[in-house]
Structure 1
């Protein structure tokens, strides 16, 4: 492919800029021709109507006179103030203009915004805001004007192309499989039923308009016209979203027809004496030894009978140290281990997690087994065995609602999602003013929680947040106040940043290809694109850091859990006798 054909515009940006410059030569003024002075009385211009013949021009052939005449014809019978506004916009699109032109333009909008908006059509309002982008008197005017200019310019381009689709401007497309995974420049497609790009973009522009009293009426008028118009991509996408949600609601089985799949509870597992209950944990772990020791120490200190640890990337020292404790069952998941499994080693780490959890379930000597990760810690108010003893005899599992660890107070403070505290989701917007409406439960990690499962059921299989029996999710699961799963998901900002790439591409933030809902990954993408790391810091400070204000709001809603982990102390107490001399 030749260099000439590699670009949409032959000659590249040199040619683009050159062509643009040819349309920006300043107007020539004939003798006696001039714009009104900066201090001109504007009131008479509101009452004088324009004569399309423009007799005051005489025989002038200047480019200013030609533009004056064109605008006089356009504003025939309209107020001369509108004609003056058009002249100011036309001059300001050129390279040079009378020195007071920009100031006079700004004065019109500062003093006569209501009149201008009442008499100018949307096309002229867009021209006005574009002029603010180039010649605003403040940074706020220029920044907002440029943003709106790009928005309306792109709308004109894509709406023009759409005219050739054969669909009317107010007619949304039918919901069909997308023709491609990515857009131009490898951008992911907008998630129609759950995406927040439109809300974030329009809401941000509205807020930016509040910063400047002169451009605010114009900018907010245009944005209001935009969302009221039924012939825009915004309306079409909202219509597609509503239709899709209605379709899904119609396809969903009614509550009465949803399949119930209770798993049987063996009599041998219906133990109500806490002293007889043996409970344990199972985890597939890829982490440094010190983190694994802290995790194991916490649960052994709580009374775990067995801590099953499967090492995803085993190293001999870690295997040796963990094997010293009699209540730790350590399995090195190296090549030999996976070669012995009928499926071999699965590429997806989640699949490996549920595989080893199910294997531990079928071989453990515990009555109860919790499938949790190395950054998750049981937070029972009573002894864990006491909680398990109170589970109803017909329930196969105890649900562990998550409590996300907060930065700023060591390992002592956690927060709950509203539903875990019996609060409505609407409290999130008050607790997290900027980001609450975009986060499930106010969390950046999972809100599903994990399960403590009775053992002894043949054919039961673990998931990440569920258990399955006879090919369907098990439903006889009990909730109980006073026991949470503390999740040290991002206890420091540096750790949050270090794990971000993996979590966005392969971990818990990843969106599946067919997922439409607005997710945390969309928030991250927006912040990185618009604010960079500073935006992520602002987010982390509001959502993940226990400031006095956040502590107050969480406390008022019963969503603050104070539970000092004291992991170093527990590690020394639990492993000290076994590590002496090592």
Structure 2
């Protein structure tokens, strides 16, 4: 005997049909309770308004009375004709109903379709077309009703599943996310850019509805609502098609996107002697003085020749304190500064960041310059100058691999992405069981890293995670192992919550216009909407807090980086007499 195949539904179709046929019993009617007669005048029911208390039923406890009151509450102060429609649909979903129920339903739609369409919401219109599928007067009415019932039923199923993806219903997927796996039932995937499955399916339903005057207004209204809604798979697929067509029209093919743009490296910057090499950092900073001192002390202790700090919201005391150290170049980005740039202060802090970084690139006396933030710490495995001196002579920059600081430790411990250590992304599901599949690299901050760039090249402009030369992204960038940029992105729960609002609207969690890639902000939105702060705490505990279990899993995968910074010691050692009385 062959082995029985496992099915989605235990018991197969015998069980499915048995469950389907276990339908609700007919309503019971109390004394004097009945549906209106088949020849009821609909006009007075348009004028009559429903009372949610349904006093006309008295104290009846029949199942009909309970449904009557339920619908009276839903249509409170609405026309009684809508309530009648609801009662007819509810009765027709039962095993049995008063003999004239289906005829009254069909008469109602034959005579009052325009009124019903104008006053019922989409949910009730779907219920109506489903009722036509079971009780339509003609074969065409039943066929259309059943077709629309299957269509909207499947939409409900797959859109419910989509809720758990964390992506918004009006958010089209990115093209690069297409899976190479085969569809179920050995079906070929829908051809998004040239396929006509959606057109043929919707167009045929529209044309079929034209053949029946009773059901036509209802079907065509539902189909119109469907193509007007921006939260359906039809709109998402059309958005993806439109984007691809625009890319093709503009010549933006994968080949053109990968066009090389190597930047010539000046001979004066090809220094291989660490003792001669000067490096520095540039940052736009809006933070308390203590945080800036820790950041600057760390870089200076590593051997930075220059630390360029641009104060986004300068305080005179902060400017004075930092200016005491000869290797810190402080710039107060006040009104006078922006006036001297002959431009208005940019609203976006990211635009201000890349502006000041580019200014520093041309003003610095360093051979190499890194654009990093005040909460990012260089984590070299040897001296920073040694790393830079080992760079390939034809590389304009080296990329610093991202590391993310963990919470719950007395001294700094960081984690790495699977890619950084040569592990498959699939390990994330084991390391972070709840959120691993929804976080890029298992991080809540950026995984792109930051760049150390050789100076002395005209036409260069800094980005956040990139550099541009002559208006195009530079491509001769070296991926150098053994050097990280440690991001103290959310070292405590309090800090995570304090920064959340800014990051969601203007910072790293914000939704970027024209970008449909799933982002961490989508996870945060989903948790806030469905679970509130408790959901965010669960996320922070699983992903950001170094518990013994998480430490073991990260360690087993080579993704744990123990790198104590000892910042207070560095402040004392670096600044010493410069900051007496701090």
Distance 2:555 2:482 in 1: 16
- Per the alignment, in what secondary structure is the counterpart of residue 482 of structure 1? strand
Write out per-residue CA displacement over residues 437-494 of structure 1, whole angstroms, 9 at most, x where no aligned residue: 1112211111111100000001211111111111101000001111000000110011
Partner residue of 1:15?
none
Equivalent residue, structure 1, for 2:493: 493
Shift of 1:409: 1.1
- What's 2:84 paired with? none
Structure 2, unpaired ranges of 5+: 1-17, 36-61, 71-89, 96-119, 131-143, 153-167, 176-222
Q: In 2, distance between residues paired with 1:436 and 1:315? A: 41
Q: Deviations over 1:162-218 (max 9, x none)?
A: 99xx9x96999xxxxxxxxxxxxxxx87313269xxxxxxxxxxxxxxxxxxxxxxx
Shift of 1:559: 1.4
Over 3 Å counting, the alpha-carbon distance change for 1:93 and 1:357 in structure 2 is same
Distance apart, 1:513 and its partner CA: 3.2
SS of match in other structure, 2:330: strand
Alignment partner for residue 123 of structure 2, among 156, 171, 181? 156
Deviation at 1:558, TM superposition (A): 1.7
1:317/1:247 CA distance change after superposition, 3 Å: same
- The 3 A distance-change label for structure 1 pair 125 and 565 is farther
Residue 417 of structure 1 aligns to a residue whose secondary structure is: coil
**1:204 matched to which residue of 2?**
none
Find the counterpart in structure 1 of residue 448 from structure 2. 448
Equivalent residue of 1:274, what SS? coil
Q: Quick one: distance in 2 between partners of 1:367 and 1:394?
A: 15
Partner of 1:193: 173
**Residue of structure 2 in register with 1:316 after alignment:** 316
Return the TM-score normalized by structure 2: 0.63
- Give secondary structure in 2 for the equivalent of 1:479: strand
Q: Which whole-Å CA distance do the structure 1 matches of 2:452 and 2:252 have between them?
A: 29
Change (3 A) 1:248 1:64: farther
Q: d(CA) in 2 for partners of 1:487 and 1:311?
A: 20
1:44-63 residue pairs with structure 2 within 5 A?
Answer: none
Match of 1:525 in 2: 525
Instruction: Report SS of the residue matched to 1:291.
Output: helix
Superposed counterparts of 1:26-65, under 5 Å: none
Compared with structure 1, are the counterparts of its residues 159 and 510 closer, same or farther at alpha carbon in structure 2 (3 Å cutoff)? farther
Q: How far off is 1:410 after superposition? A: 3.3
- Do residues 278 (structure 1) and 278 (structure 2) align? yes
Q: Scaled by the length of structure 1, what TM-score is found?
A: 0.63
CA contact (8 A) 2:172 2:237 kept: no
Cα distance in structure 1, aligned partners of 2:91 and 2:557: 50
**Partner residue, 1:266:** 266
Change (3 A) 1:257 1:432: closer
**SS in structure 1 at match of 2:123:** helix
SS, match of residue 481 in structure 2:
coil
Q: Secondary structure at the match of 1:275?
A: coil
Structure 1: gaps spanning 5 or more residues = 1-45, 55-59, 68-87, 97-122, 129-152, 173-187, 196-230
- Tell me how large the CA RMSD over aligned residues is: 3.9
Whole-angstrom CA distance in 1 between matches of 2:92 and 2:563: 58
Superposed, 1:179-328 pairs within 5 Å as 190-193=170-173, 236=234, 239-240=237-238, 243=241, 252-255=252-255, 258-328=258-328
Deviation sequence 1:107-128 (CA, Å, 0-9, x none)? xxxxxxxxxxxxxxxx999999
Partner of 2:202: none
Q: Tell whether the 8 Å contact from 1:89 to 1:127 is kept in structure 2 after alignment.
A: no
Q: Deviations over 1:119-167 (max 9, x none)?
A: xxxx999999xxxxxxxxxxxxxxxxxxxxxxxx98734757999xx9x
* 1:370 aligned partner: 370
Alignment CA distance shift 1:284-1:411 (3 Å):
farther
Q: What do residues 269-318 of structure 1 show as CA deviations (whole Å, max 9, x unaligned)?
A: 00111111100000010111000000000010111011011111111111
Matched, 1:397 2:377: no
How much has 1:389 moved relative to structure 2?
0.8
Distance 1:327 1:363 in 2: 14
In structure 2, how many angstroms separate the alpha carbons of the residues matched to 1:162 and 1:471?
57
Matched, 1:484 2:484: yes
Take 2:368 and 2:173, find their aligned partners in 1: how far apart are those partners?
40
- Secondary structure of 2:347's counterpart equals coil
| Range with greater deviation from structure 2 (254-263 or 264-273) | 254-263
Q: In the aligned structure 1, how far is the partner of 2:520 from the partner of 2:257?
A: 32
Contact 2:305 2:327 in 1 (8 A): yes
Whole-Å separation in 2 of the counterparts to 1:92 and 1:340: 75
Distance 1:420 1:506 in 2: 28
- Match of 2:407, SS? coil
Residue equivalent to 1:547: 547
Instruction: Determine the C-alpha separation between the residues in 2 that align with 1:531 and 1:236.
Output: 29
Q: Measured at CA, do residues 258 and 499 of structure 1 come closer, stay the same or move farther in structure 2, by a change above 3 Å? A: same
CA contact (8 A) 1:436 1:442 kept: yes
Q: Kindly state the Cα deviation for residue 577 of structure 1 after the two structures are TM-superposed.
A: 2.4
Please state how far the C-alpha of 1:235 moved relative to its aligned partner. Answer: 5.2
- Using the alignment, how far apart are the partners of 1:443 and 1:292 within structure 2? 24
The match for 2:568 is 568
